[in-house]
Amino acid sequence: MRRKQRDAGDIALVVTDDVGQLEPVERADADTIALPSGTYPRQDVRRVVLSDGRSLYLIHADLPARAEAARIRQLEEAAFLRALFRPSRPVGPGGVPLPYWLLMFALVVGMVISGAR
């Protein structure tokens, strides 16, 4: 029973005024806690370890904090999409760009041909 609960993942309780909302934690690192509704700075969050080993993050979020969390979340998604669709240059062996390898190959072939005469 406890194993299934632990696999369910960490949760967060976001309190706004007198209303609490439970949300699953998507990502928790040293700086931020990412939830479906937004990303909160770690210094604004209190972590409580539950008896089944999961973590409960307590977040007191007034309206400006929730708006800021949603804005941070949008910025993270935009940065991810930019990185995902950024055209990458072809890379050859050793991390050297492929055009340099082609140039070196052409020079070596040219030297071999000119030396064979």
29-53 pLDDT tens trace: 888 899 998 888 888 899 999 999 9
Which residues touch 56 (CB under 8 Å, ≥6 apart)? Answer: 10, 11, 12, 13, 47, 48, 49, 50
Instruction: Look at residue 70 in the predicted model and tell me its pLDDT.
Output: 81
Instruction: Look at residue 91 in the predicted model and tell me its pLDDT.
Output: 67
pLDDT by residue (tens digit) across 52-109? Answer: 999 999 998 877 877 888 888 888 888 877 776 666 666 667 777 788 888 999 999 9
Q: How large is the greatest C-alpha to C-alpha distance in the chain, in angstroms?
A: 89
